[in-house]
Every structure is written in structure tokens, then in C-alpha cells.
Amino acid sequence: MKTQSNRGKKLRRATPRVRQPARARTAAIDIDANRRLLNRYRFVAHEGMLILAGWLPKAETFELKCEMGRALWESAQHVNALFLRLREIQSPAFQKPSDPALVTLLAELLHAPDEFSLALALYRVVTPSLIRALESHETATFPNSDQPSVHVIKHALLDLRAQLERIEPLLVQAEQAGKITAAARAWEKYARRLLAAAGGISGLEERAPAPASAPACRVTFQAPREAGRDERFTNRAADFSAMPPEEAYQEHTVEEFERYSTEMLAAETVALVMFLVKGMPWEFQYDTARHIYDEVRHCLMGYEWMRGHAMDPFQSPQYLHVFKWRSQFPPVMQYCMLTMGNEVHAFPYRHRRVEAHQKSGDRLSEQFVRYDIADETQHVRFGNRWLPELIKLVGEKRPLKQYTADVIKVWEEEYRTGKLTLNVE
């Protein structure tokens, strides 16, 4: 009996029933659905990034403008991570989603009536829905087979939740200050209806009928030619004044960091370039996103320094005519002026400043400038990498060397001498 029973057990062991692990059995997302979903998230992050680029110069509220620059760069990180994953499961990696309702939602967001309308639509409608889609994807996909997607999703979620935590207080503040207009509310509602028509960012929610028309508050977006500043900035159109000589260490350093606080102008120009230039490879947009965010950080570095020295950065001259002047030129020329003009030429001065700060034992200033040099080195590298492709893209006939020399001549004559010519548009 004993032997038979053992034999029976052995037999049962020899023909095991194939049992699937619980998660694999219930995974709701198969590989085709996965590809479709990742493609939707990539599209939302990518279009969102471009919308922020268009709006960054236009936005007036300083804190919101800075958050836009950061969110733009974080979106670029998400697009890049999704691109690296998508190219493993679809070709080409970048594909326009086949859902016209989602495409319409992202196309419409750009035409918000003002910056708070845009922020309400992005941060109270679209981003929360993207977060819900990612959260559900994270647990609904095959945990082992699709781990590379889970990795991307987990990291994007960290950023997106933190964005809402930073931006929501700005929206509440705007509400309390009466800056959220009826038009902004109408716009938020419109975005919500467009999202519902797309079945949410995932497209998996029950769909509502699309709104028959846009609300009357819709404003067809125009690329900004002027940089926005809120009412706290009172000194907008000052001309560049001569800086105290470098030998006057204290006075010069104050001016040096006050100038950093105005580097938003560079972020605004690069954002405009990103928004206007179509048809470049993804890596160009990726580098440009970093360039934009670096300049926002340089500006904030100036703010931090000034506040640490009991100065009010909102009193600094804003030199807004610099953006206006640059924006009258074609975007490739603006990019060339910035990278091959302003940025290339700043290095000898910056290195002298590092030395001066070291000599005077001013560690904070020294560190700030050294980080700035590290970023600016990349910006020049971006310029060298992309200008040859940019001039090809726009059909420029002059060789790169000649083109750059001609652009720098304009920059020398008009910017460096402070004579900024504003052509009548």
C-alpha cells in the first residue's frame, strides 16, 4: 500500500498542472495595448512640452513661468524614456496616435485665453488624467515581461505628482487673488470635455460626445514676440548700463548676479526657437529642453544670490527689448546669436569671475559661476551640434562658417553695442 501510494505521488508529480502566477493571469494590458498606451503617454508629454515652450515667454507670473520651464524639461525626460522603450516595440518609435479625440485635445490646449487657463487645463485636467493612466498601467501590465515600461512609468509618476504639488499652490494663490477669470473656468471645462471625448489620457474610460464647438474665450495662439513679466517687475525697458569695473569686487559682483537674474530672457528665446522650429530630430528638442531649463535655473540662481544679499530681484531691470529684438529674426538666427554670440563669448569673463571669487573667499559665488560654466559649455556644444543641421533644414545657402560670421556681425553691431534695432513688423 505504502509503495503504491508513493508511486501515485510520483506520477502526479511527473504531470504537473501548469499554473500561471496570479499577476500574469490577470494582466489586463497585452503587448499591442501596451504599445498603444505608451504611444499616447509619449504624445501627451511631447505636445505638452511644445505647448509650454510656446507659452513660456508669454507667461507673466514669475513662479509659474519658472515651473513651466522645469515641467518642460521634465516632460522631455519622459518623452525620451518613452521613446527609448517605444523603439523596442514599434517602428517608427514616434507615431501620431490614431485617436483623433486625443490629437484634438492636445491641439486645442495651446489656444488657452491666458496663462492660468492653460495651467488649469494642464494641471487640473490633463496631468491628473495622465497620472491615473500611468498608475493603472503600472499595476495592470505584465510585471516581469514589461518591467522596462514599469520603470519609465514609476519615474514619470514621481515627477508628475511633484509638479502638481508645486503648481497647485500657485493656482490657489491665483484664485485668491482673483486672477482666475470666468474665461479660465470656461476653458478648464472645455479641456475636461475634450478629455472625456478621448476616454481620458488612456482612452480606456467611457467616452462622452465631443464638444460641438470651442468656447468664445478661445484665442488662436500666436508665437510671442514680447516677453511677459508680472506687475512686480517695474523696471522693464532699461538699457544695459556699464557695469562697475571688475576690480571693484563688491560692486561688480552685485551687478554680476543681478544680470544672472535676467537670464530668463535666454530661456525665453530658446523656448521660442523650440516652438517655431519644426522638422528637427528628437535629440534637438531634448537638448533644447535642457537649455531652456538651465537658463531658468541661472535666473533663479541670480534670485537666490540677491535675496541672500538682502536685495529684491523684482527691482532688477528686465531688458525686455532684448527678447523683442531677438525674436524679430528667424529662429535659426536667434539660436545662432545666442549660442555663438552670447554664450561663446562669455567664457573668458566667467573664468575671471571664478578666480576673483576664489581670491576673495566667496565660495557661494564661485560655486554658482562654476555650475554656470558647466551648463554654458553644454549650450555651446548644442549650438555646434545643431547649427549645421538647422541651416540645412531652412535651406540656407551660405556655408556654416559664413552664416555664423554674418549673424555674429549683426549681433556685434546691434546687441553688443546696446543699439538693439527693432524693425517695424
- Residues at the interface with Fe ion (CB under 5 A): 263, 295, 298, 343, 376, 379
Least distance from C-beta 387 to Fe ion, angstroms?
15
Cβ-contact 8, 41 below 8 angstroms: no
The alpha-carbon radius of gyration of the chain (Å, integer) is 26
Instruction: Pick between residue 66 and residue 119 the one whose CB is nearest to Fe ion.
Output: 66
Q: How many Å apart are CA 44 and CA 24, to the nearest integer?
A: 28
Residue 65: CB minimum distance to Fe ion, A: 16
Closest separation in Å from C-beta 74 to Fe ion: 19
Give the span between the Cα atoms of 221 and 224, in whole angstroms: 9
List the one residue out of 101, 102, 111 whose CA is nearest residue 215: 111
Q: Which long-range contacts (CB under 8 A, 24 or more apart) does 276-279 make?
A: 276/223, 276/331, 277/331, 277/332, 277/335, 277/390, 277/393, 279/393
Which is closer to Fe ion, CB of 207 or CB of 345?
345
C-beta closer to Fe ion: residue 62 or 123: 62
The CB-of-293 to Fe ion minimum distance in angstroms stands at 11
In terms of CB distance, is 82 or 271 closer to Fe ion?
A: 271
Among positive and negative, which fits the CA dihedral 346, 347, 348, 349?
Answer: positive
First vs last C-alpha separation in the chain: 102
Q: How far is the CB of 263 from Fe ion (least distance, A)?
A: 5
Residue (142 or 371) nearer to Fe ion, CB: 371
How many other C-beta atoms lie within 10 A of the C-beta of residue 231? 8
Residue 353 or residue 379: which is nearer to Fe ion going by CB? Answer: 379
Closest CA to 217 of 175, 258, 173, 187: 187
Q: Nearest 5°: phi and psi at 167? A: -90, -30
The distance of closest approach from Cβ of residue 333 to Fe ion in the complex, given in angstroms and rounded to an integer, is: 17
* Closer residue to Fe ion in complex, CB, 115/376: 376
| Beta carbon of residue 343, minimum distance to Fe ion (angstroms, whole number) | 5
Nearer to Fe ion, 86 or 387 (CB): 387
- Give how far the C-alpha of residue 79 lies from the chain's centroid of Cα atoms, to the nearest Å: 11
Looking at this protein, which amino acid is placed at residue 223?
A
Task: Check: CB of residue 106 under 8 Å from CB of residue 43.
Answer: yes
Name the amino acid, one letter, at 262. Answer: T
Nearer to Fe ion, 188 or 376 (CB): 376
Residue appearing with cell numbers 476653458:
187
Q: Least distance from C-beta 316 to Fe ion, angstroms?
A: 15
Nearest residue (CB) to Fe ion, 174 versus 337: 337
φ, ψ of residue 401 to 5 degrees: the values are -60, -45
Residue partners of 361: CB distance under 8 A and separation at least 6? none
CA-closest candidate to residue 276, choices 225, 341, 200: 225
Contact 171, 120 (CB under 8 A): yes
State the nearest-atom distance from the C-beta of 309 to Fe ion, in Å: 20
Q: Using CA atoms, how far apart are residues 155 and 152, in angstroms rounded to an integer?
A: 5
Chain-centre distance for alpha carbon 178: 27
CB of 419: closest distance to Fe ion in angstroms? Answer: 23
Q: How far is the CB of 301 from Fe ion (least distance, A)?
A: 9
- Measure the CA–CA gap between 82 and 40, rounded to whole angstroms: 10
Looking at beta carbons only, is 117 or 285 nearer to Fe ion? 285
Residue 148 to residue 187: CA distance in whole angstroms: 36
Dihedral over Cα of 290, 85, 37, 92: its sign: positive
